[in-house]
Each structure stands twice: as C-alpha cells, then as structure tokens.
Amino acid sequence: MRKSILGLSAVALAALSVPALAQDEPTSELTVTGNAAVVSDYRFRGISQTDKRFALQGGITVTHESGFYVSTWGSSIDDYVAAGSDQELDLIAGYSRTFGAATVDVGVLYYYYPGSGGANTDFVEPYASIKGTFGPATAKLSAAYAPKSRALSVDGGLTREDNLYVAGDLAASVPNTPLGVSAHLGHSFGPSYLTIGDEYTDWSIGATYTWSHLTFGVSYVDTDKSLYSPSGRNVSKAGVVGSITASF
C-alpha cells in the first residue's frame, strides 16, 4: 500500500520554549521543539505502515508567537506503503490560536514518499481541529480532508479519489504523577486508497510515563476491518504498540 489507512500513530511532540534572555532584553519570537522516537509499530489511523515491525521517527516544529508554525516529521515505513519507498516525510504549515479554554488549529499537511520511483504516491491533506482543556484533561475534535488525486485512487491512478477522516481524542494527566492516559476514535470515509473498502473505524487507548525529556508509551490499537500486507500479515488487526520518545 502507498499509504495505509494515524494522530494515529503519531508521536507526541513535547514543547520546549526558547530560554528567556537577560532582563529588559526582548525574547525570541520563535519557539523550536522537536523529538526523536523508536516505536514497536507505526500505526496510521489504525493501520500498520511497517508490517507490524519497529520504526524510527522524528520531527521538528518552529512556531511564531503569532500562532503560525511550520513542521516536518518523518518515519521509516515498509515498502508496500508507497510503491517501494522506505520513508514517509510530512511537511506541515498551520496556524493555532487559543480562545479561553479552547484551542483552534488549522493547516495543510503534505505526505511525501522519497524513493517511490515517480509513482503517484504523494498527496495533500488540509486539516482542522478544536481542543478544549478541562483541568488535567483535554478533549479534541478533528477533521482532515484530502482532495481528489490520483495518489488516492483504487485503480492504480487511472481515476481520482478523495478522502475524509474525522476523529475524537481524550487525554488526561494523573495529578501529582508523571502518568497520562488517552483514548482515540476515528472514522475514514472513502472509497479511496486510504480506506479499507468504502469506510472503516479505528480506535485506541493508551498510557504514558514521562521522565525528564523521555516519554515511555504503550497503547492498544484496533480497527473494524481486515487488511493484509504482501507478507500475509493482517496490518489492521488489534495490537499493542510501545514507544520511547525523547523531546527537546
């Protein structure tokens, strides 16, 4: 598959603000954050991108004080995902602003697969989300729409297809501990290359433990459909995913 049917498995970025300068000197308008991670399986919207094997991942984000940001994130993948490519590179530009307890985030994500030999694999996906904070808990609703393109066709690029993904996420920190818990529910509407048939649902639950700049995570991920890789593995089957992330 060029792009199997994340968030998630997406690795969380821990923010690190640029240190303040000496008193009475202006502070930087930019904040730079990043991470590097090892995961036991890269799941994108419930589907393994690595044939249920380990992946190396990392990313960096530059945020302006106005709320605009640019980001890049990459992961190793199996060659069935994108016509022989062994890497996914996400290029992102967006804007985020907080209104009271709510944060609105809009942007555009470009999925790039180097080494795919000129095949139709790359596509663009605008996204939007709103997140609310309630004490130690947050709730987020999000949607991502990929316009019609040959990369999303189910007939090898002869036609153009689009795709819509909607999701809800809940997360909470356990007070006075380094522990966190999360839950995710998403649904993909097709038919397109990103869906198993016309549509499917994915979900996960997870927990994290943070120590200094390291975060250890474990999650249970599943979908309501079956999808098999060339090796014969059911890459949409339920599984436990572990991760170690270093933030800077």
E strands, 100-238, where?
Answer: 102-112, 123-134, 137-149, 161-173, 179-189, 199-211, 214-223
- How far, in Å, CA of 41 to CA of 219, rounded? 11
Task: Give the model confidence (pLDDT) of 210-240 as tens digits.
Answer: 999 999 999 999 999 999 999 999 999 999 9
Concatenated DSSP letters for 206-243?
A: EEEEEETTEEEEEEEEEESS--B-TTS-BTTS-EEEEE
CATH of 30-247 given 1.10.760.10, 3.40.50.2300, 2.40.160.40, 3.40.50.410: 2.40.160.40
φ, ψ at 177 (rounded to 5°): -140, 165
CB 30 within 8 A of CB 240: no
Return the closest-CA partner of residue 107 out of 69, 137, 136. Answer: 69
Task: Give the model confidence (pLDDT) of 84-117 as tens digits.
Answer: 899 999 999 999 999 999 999 999 999 999 988 8
The pLDDT mean for the chain works out to: 90
Task: Locate the domains of the chain by residue range.
Answer: 30-247
pLDDT for the residue numbered 118: 82
Span 35-61, mean pLDDT?
Answer: 98
Report the run of H or E that residue 35 belongs to, with start and end: strand 30-39
Q: Judge whether residue 79 has pLDDT over 70.
A: yes
